[in-house]
Structure 1
Amino acid sequence: MAEASKKSKEKTGVSRLFELAGSKKNKLILACLLSVVSSAARLVPFFTIYGVIREILAHYTLAGAIDMKKIYTLVAYTFCAALVYGICAFLSSSLAHGSAYDIIFELRIKLMEKLARIPSGYFTGTTQGAIKKVISDDVEQIEVFIAHHVTDISAAVSMPLFTLIYLFIMDWRLALVTLLPIFISIFLLAGSMKNPKGAQTQVDMHNAKEKMEGTIVEYIHGMPVIKIFNRTLSAFQRYEQDVSGYVSSVERAAYHFAPGIGVYYAFFGAQLLFLLPASLLLVPFASSYLDYLPLVLLFFLVGGGLKEPMENMMQMVIHSKRITEGVSRIDRILKQTEIPEEGTGNPESYDIAFEDVSFSYSENGPQAVKNVSFSLPKGTVTGIVGPSGGGKSTLAQLLLRFYEPQQGCIKIGGVNIGEIPPSRLTGLVSYVFQDSFLFHDTVENNIRMGNREAAFEALEQAAKSAGIHEVIMSLPKGYQTVIGEKDAYLSGGEKQRIAIARVFLKDTPIVILDEATAYADAENEAKIQQAFARLAQNKTVLIIAHRLKTVENANQILVLEEGELLAAGTHEELLHNCPQYGNMIAANERRDRWTIRKGVKTA
């Protein structure tokens, strides 16, 4: 019951946007108040003009009797009102824009920090384009809405309100006639906006845009593969289909709202059409033509001027629908379940134990890991071997809590990793991925990801241990070279060794190597293996290996197939006790003997 009550109180749309504004909400409120004052000042010239016309008509037979002091006073009021309008409008715009930039900055930082705290499984089921749309496009729409539309809404509401109050004071009958077309148009538009199909068209439009942007990102990332396999046309056709799908979704939304908006505009600008006959019908009831004529002119001026602010307000209502959908998508990320930070676990030993661990990437999908139990004693090297897709990398990612096991538990030093704060866990474990990612930054900063506080001498030693120091020194600016600029390009093996240098610099008690020497040549692989031997001293090392020679000298080797642990032991023990391991060794030997021979030409 309490949970249902809590959900019912959750804010959405613009109210949720103000909630996300946090401390900047007060600035936005002040900007809106200044916008209201500027709107009130903007109306003053209409009323001073009315006063001038009335004074002139009152003495139209004797121009010398016109009270010039009154005229000058009205001109002064007009000048002051223009000054107030300009100052308040400027301050309102400045506050709104400043708040908007601060809010989107904080919102993007909040989103990026959130993405770092949620399980990696979220990124498996979400395209890069969808995440990019939320962080870039949806947040950018919020900036436009806050910087411009929030204050415009305040002006659009306050200006007609002030105008109508004054008009009702002047003549309630003509004021009602002025309101009549506005009521009709708003009623028709509201009926169109409340239709559930309209809300669905907005959702469809966002979904189509996410799909299109996902295809764009995939197309760019996959360009080398597309070109080498001559699939440019087919890939472009897919992109073209997604673009056409987005265009169609926009057209469906436009066609849905077109009838209501068309009728809305037809009535909305019809004040004069209603006012003219109404003013003529009321002429016989006027006490004085000299008083009535300026009044009618005032209603023609101000009543017709109601169209602009009311149109702005309606446009804001329509735009708020897009904002509502954008905010809901931001909230989908912000409300994702995080890896809990609580926990006081602080292991003093660094042996690792998997106890009856099972895991599946999807709720009803096949199990990637099935009832796996093994231990990694402190200070030992353990290799994991097996066919591709057997669950080797999954075990390593479970140890890092990229995912949470559905069954069993993983312990470090006898402490369940679920009780260890993630920040502490990442301080215990280093991971070299099979495909290492380098940032568009200097070589030094890429290595310093392992330890920001390390002295440069330690960083240099880490690079030497990884066998990459000489390569770095050959770059244009050495360690200060920005990777990816001009001639500063690295091969796959060189990138991998920079990633390995991070591990040396981080110097954690637990190290995971996911086929870390896959891109190294024979000479550098030998150097890296020697470095690993030094690195493994007094550390718990887990090596995921496809080249079985990499782990032949490990303290123990785990054989994994289809998520199940088939056997565990030393190289010699597995050769005698595990046929699958023997088959893998034989396959590796055949691969090493395989060569391409020159063909023999016969007569």
Structure 2
Amino acid sequence: MKQRTKSAKAKTGVARLLELAGTKKKKLIAACVLSVLSSAARMAMFFTIYGVVQELLVHYVTPLEIDAGRVYTLVAVTFGAALVYGVCAFISSALAHGAAYDVIYALRIHIMNKLGRIPSGFFTGTTQGAVKKVISDDVEQIEVFVAHHIADIAAAIATPLFTLLYLFIMDWRLALVTLIPIFISLFILGSGLKNPKGAQTQIDMHDTKERMEGTIVEYIHGMPVVKIFNRTLSAFRRFEDSISDYVKSVERTAYHFEAKMGAYYAFFGAQLLFLIPAGLLIAPRAASYADFLPVLLLFFLVGGGLKEPMENMMSMVLHSKRISEGVARIDRILRQPELETTGDAAPSAYDVVFENVSFSYGADDTQAVKNLSLKLDQGSINGLVGPSGGGKSTVAQLLLRFYEPQEGRIKIGGVDIRDIPPEKLTTLVSYVFQDSFLFHDTVENNIRMGNKEAPREAVVQAAMGANIHDVIVALPKGYDTVIGEADAYLSGGERQRIAIARIFLKNTPIVILDEATAYADAENESKIQQAFARLAANKTVLVIAHRIRSIQNANQILVLKQGQLLGAGTHETLLAGFGLYSDMVDANERRDRWTIRKGAVTV
């Protein structure tokens, strides 16, 4: 049982990265093998040079006895090794880069698909900058690691091992001396990496970078508001503070490792500092000075050359720490719980029922919806009203499974929505938001989000139903106009009607309208209301509204306050016997009567 638990333990760091690489691991393995071969060919040149020097020194008194054939052979081997090094290094780099591009493409698609499957509550507690950092920066860092460093790590490990093995064969005493500065530097580096404070500085650096990028996104998106209220200086100060915090976190990380990294680099390249006195001590006792001198020269060349591959390996170890943190943040998204579906039901009716539903956004006891029970009959129009913060939008989002209730059930046609697969649920329910988002794409493609397979004629019909067709044909390229380009800008009400056209095209049996006229002027509101009337025909409709007059003819009006249903009925019934609703109607009428006259406001 313990063994099974151990094997099922989630992987982290580079191991997890290789797991995410999936089928691309074969390319990476081939790249690593070729990288090792290229490094071996590169090191072989040192040994062929040693062979030539040895031949010259042995016969330095009698140069005519030099074996020219052996020298030419070694020279030919040197050229061959150089060729093998170049070819293997090129193919290894090509394979690694190809695998890296495939991995980051698949990883970004995987993350985006995952974001589409997790509850929307995840985005409430996560800044856009944090998500952007994961999808862009952390994934990009992985591309660099996969393309350049994984194969280098293989070479950086294999090359010193093969070289040291050969050096031990040549002279074990000098080989041990060569290892002394390496062992000292590794000890220094290891003590620094194992320090919990050092690990925390790395995490803090990632956290401050996320906050900085979140502030950048917020600053850019909020620029019109910042300028209108002349808050440029204070907003910029927040932006500047976030950058300053990131710089300070980088400095703390650098200062923490400053002394140890200085000592590490000082010892790591100090092989000659130990080899020279060792050579002077061993040379007088050597059996043959002519034989020992080439060996000593070989150690000077190769021993000092060990610094580069070993330094690469240590650099990769340090870089892998940053990769591990980036992979952990990617996994924080990939391991978010998805919407669970307990069945594959498809309701045959489209009435909506909430049964004792309770929901809280946070871990505290504050509930946005409390023991809520209500019913929306099939084909009926239902208004949902109440004070701000009363839970109206939460009700709509629970029906769409943006969030999962902690208690109770929500049914469509008698079927629990948890038994309906999410992709089927989206074919049953449509949602028009208060401030609908349009993509930087053509008008047609923005409408076609409601149905990707719909022909142009259906798109046009949907636009006509939403009272937006005349506006679209007046744009520079009609339905092919890219929103936001070539002076193709739409007002808030027009953008809202584009969103309604999507719903026409989608043609779901249940429609939710969440304050859809909140930002519309009088003309646009009238056209949106006409579009709603067409859209609501023979559908189950829930209209969340602050303007009572927009829903006073609804089949049913639900009054919500602090997450609880206080009353339900027609406009006349509630007006006659429900004080809170009467107060809301009076407030709406006073708002509609207010005027400005000679600098004074009257109601």
Q: TM-score, normalised to structure 2's length?
A: 0.97
Match of 2:465 in 1: 465
How many Å separate the matches in 2 of 1:526 and 1:184?
Answer: 79
Show the 5 A alignment for 1:255-270. 255-270=255-270
**Alignment correspondent of 2:322:** 322
Match of 2:416 in 1: 416
Amino acid at match of 2:569: G
Structure 2 counterpart SS, 1:382: strand
CA RMSD of aligned residues (A): 1.5
Residue identity in the other structure for 2:414: G
Query: Counterparts of 1:359-438 in structure 2 under 5 Å?
Result: 359-438=359-438
Deviations 1:447-481 (A, max 9, x none): 00001111211110110111111110111100000
State the shift of 1:387 in Å.
Answer: 1.4
Moved more, 326-335 or 337-346: 337-346
Alignment-derived partner of residue 82 in structure 1? 82
Q: 1:133 maps to which residue?
A: 133
| Post-superposition offset of 1:486 | 2.3
For the 8 Å contact 2:35–2:92, the answer to whether it is kept is: yes
Contact kept? 1:467, 1:524, Cα under 8 Å: no
Q: What is the CA-CA distance between 1:289 and the residue it aligns to?
A: 1.2
Q: Identify the residue that residue 549 of structure 1 maps to in structure 2.
A: 549
Quote the offset at 1:559 in angstroms. Answer: 0.9
Structure 2 portions without partners, runs of 5+: none
Extract unaligned runs of 5+ from structure 1: none
Contact 1:465–1:528 (Cα < 8 Å) also in 2: no
User: Matched residues in 2 for 1:520 and 1:205: separation?
Assistant: 44
Aligned to 2:273: 273
Question: Contact (CA 8 Å) 1:493, 1:518: kept in 2 or not?
Answer: no
Cross-structure match for 2:241: 241
Distance 2:4 2:84 in 1: 49
Q: Give, as a single letter, the amino acid of the residue that structure 2 aligns with 1:105.
A: Y
Structure 1 residue 537, shift from structure 2 partner: 2.3
SS at match of 1:430: strand
Partner of 1:73: 73
Deviates further, 12-21 or 232-241: 232-241
CA contact (8 A) 2:341 2:418 kept: no
Q: 2 CA distance for matches of 1:595 and 1:7?
A: 73
SS at 1:367 equivalent: coil
Q: Which moved more, 1:280-289 or 1:414-423?
A: 280-289
Q: Is the 8 A contact 1:500 1:516 kept in 2?
A: no
Give the corresponding residue for 1:214.
Answer: 214
Q: Amino acid of the residue matched to residue 357 of structure 1? A: V
The residue aligned with 1:288 is 288
Report if the CA contact (8 A) 1:350-1:413 is conserved.
Answer: yes
- Measured after TM superposition, the shift of residue 286 of structure 1 is 1.2
Q: What is the letter of the counterpart of residue 223 of structure 1?
A: M
User: What is the deviation of 1:341?
Assistant: 4.1
Give the secondary structure class of the aligned counterpart of 1:435.
coil
1:147 to partner: Cα distance: 0.6
Structure 1 CA distance, aligned partners of 2:287 and 2:599? 115
Contact 1:36 1:158 survives alignment (8 Å) = yes
How many angstroms does 1:523 deviate by? 3.8
Secondary structure (helix, strand or coil) at the match of 1:596 reads strand
TM superposition shift of 1:533: 2.5
In structure 2, distance between residues paired with 1:469 and 1:11: 54
Q: Choose 61-70 or 49-58, whichever is displaced more.
A: 61-70
* Number of the residue aligned with 1:444: 444
Alignment of 1:522-541 (within 5 A): 522-541=522-541
Distance in 1 of aligned mates of 2:89 and 2:128: 40
| 1:162-194 deviations in Å (ceiling 9; x for gaps) | 111111111111111111111111111111111
Q: Which amino acid aligns with 1:264?
A: Y
Q: Alignment partner of 1:411: what SS?
A: strand
Contact 1:358–1:370 (8 Å) recurs in 2: yes
Q: How far off is 1:595 after superposition?
A: 1.0
- Aligned twin of 1:176: 176
Q: What is the CA–CA distance in structure 1 between the aligned matches of 2:142 and 2:376, rounded to whole Å?
A: 50
Equivalent AA in structure 2 for residue 468 of structure 1 = I
Measured after TM superposition, the shift of residue 401 of structure 1 is: 0.3
User: Residues 428 and 7 (structure 1 numbering): CA distance in 2 closer, same or farther, change over 3 Å?
Assistant: farther
- Equivalence for 2:354: 354
Counterpart Cα distance in 1 of 2:535 and 2:254: 63
The aligned length equals 600
CA distance in 1, matches of 2:438, 2:320: 40
The 1-side partners of 2:23 and 2:296 are apart by: 47
Letter aligned with residue 415 of structure 2? V
Q: Residue 517 of structure 1: CA displacement?
A: 2.5
Q: How far apart are residue 378 of structure 1 and its match?
A: 0.4
Measured in 2, the distance between the counterparts of 1:430 and 1:111 equals 25
- Of residues 339-348 and 13-22 in structure 1, the stretch that sits farther from structure 2 once superposed is 339-348
Residue 365 of structure 1 and its aligned partner are, at CA, apart by 4.5
Taking structure 1 as reference, are residues 230 and 530 closer, same or farther at Cα in structure 2, changes over 3 Å only? closer
Q: Distance in 2 between matches of 1:522 and 1:422?
A: 37
Percent identity of equivalent pairs: 72
Aligned to 1:480: 480
Q: Deviations over 1:174-232 (max 9, x none)?
A: 11111111111111111111111111111111111111111111111111111111111
How far apart are 1:63 and its partner, in Å?
Answer: 2.3
How big is the shift at 1:2?
Answer: 7.1
* C-alpha contact 1:438 1:495 (8 A) present in aligned 2: yes
- Rounded Cα–Cα distance in structure 2 between residues aligned with 1:407 and 1:535: 32
Query: Partners in 2 of 1:170 and 1:3 — Cα distance?
Result: 44
Hey, what does 2:110 align to over in structure 1?
A: 110
Aligned 1:454-603 pairs, distance under 5 A: 454-599=454-599
Q: Which amino acid aligns with 1:496?
A: Q
Q: CA deviation at 1:392?
A: 0.8
TM-aligned CA deviation for residue 524 of structure 1? 4.0
Deviations 1:296-321 (A, max 9, x none): 11111111111111111111111111
8 Å CA contact retained: 1:515, 1:544? yes
Moved more, 428-437 or 537-546: 537-546
Q: Is the 8 A contact 1:383 1:542 kept in 2?
A: yes
Residues 542-551 or 57-66, more deviating:
57-66
Name 2:122's counterpart in structure 1.
122
Letter matched to residue 429 of structure 2: V
- Judge conservation of contact 2:575–2:582 (CA < 8 Å) in 1: yes
CA contact (8 A) 1:31 1:91 kept: yes
Residue in 1 that maps onto 2:49: 49
Instruction: Tell me the amino acid that sits aligned with residue 479 of structure 2.
Output: Y
What SS does structure 1 have at the residue aligned with 2:11? Answer: coil
Cα separation, partners in 2 of 1:4 and 1:29, compared to 1, 3 Å: closer
